[in-house]
Amino acid sequence: MPGRALLKKTRRTDAHVVQAIESVIRSEGWEIHRDLPASERLSVDVAVLIGDFSSSLTFAAPMAGRLTDRFGPGSVAAGGLFVEATGLALASRVTADSQVVIVCVAIGLVGAGVGLFSVANMTQVMGALGDEQQGVAGAVTLVMRTVGITAGVVVASAIFRAQEATAGFFPAFERTLLVMAAVALGAAVVAVPSRGVVSRRRGSGRPARG
């Protein structure tokens, strides 16, 4: 009984703390944010977006492991790419007047999609090679991921610069993100395992590898 009473008291205390934090954010947090100089406000915005992306990725990664064991890496990878494409498409609609919640949701979806895809993709590559080649599989995954990130940044920057020169910042921003969303959606379609492959894997009783 004393333990239950202490637990209830702790929960009530935690609820009060959460409510206090929320009230501070609503009443004072955004006022302080608006009063900051432009350079400092930009730093805060970037930090919030990076934190949003990282936290959603961290949350999705463990869930991706369980989903991969149940449905196979191919299906989870396709789902992750679809979630990422949805986030990028939503982010393309962001303007200077967009609400912070919409921006955070878009970035959160991108982070969750990356988390789902990364785990499933790693599982698929590692499962495609034998135990004696696991080091090679890990190296190949890391190299291809680095190449993909680098190439993506270069291509997206080139698209943005080309569009900004003629259309302006926000149209260029929108079109660049839409191209990125289309690429992610196309990759999701390619990653979906065929029905024959899924049925064979289910019949074998082994975790799906693709």
Query: Residue 166's domain is classified under what CATH number?
Result: 1.20.1250.20
Structural domain for 3, as ranges: 1-35
pLDDT value, residue 36: 46
Count: domains in the chain: 2
* DSSP, res 129: S
Residue 102 Cα distances to 20, 56, 74, 162, 163, angstroms: 23, 15, 29, 27, 24
10-residue block means of pLDDT along the chain (210 residues)? Answer: 41 45 41 48 65 86 90 93 95 84 90 93 85 83 88 92 89 93 94 61 48
Domain identity same for 145 and 184:
yes
Domain identity same for 90 and 11:
no
pLDDT value, residue 84: 95
pLDDT value, residue 124: 87
Domain identity same for 11 and 113:
no
pLDDT value, residue 100: 80
Domain identity same for 111 and 11:
no
pLDDT value, residue 127: 83
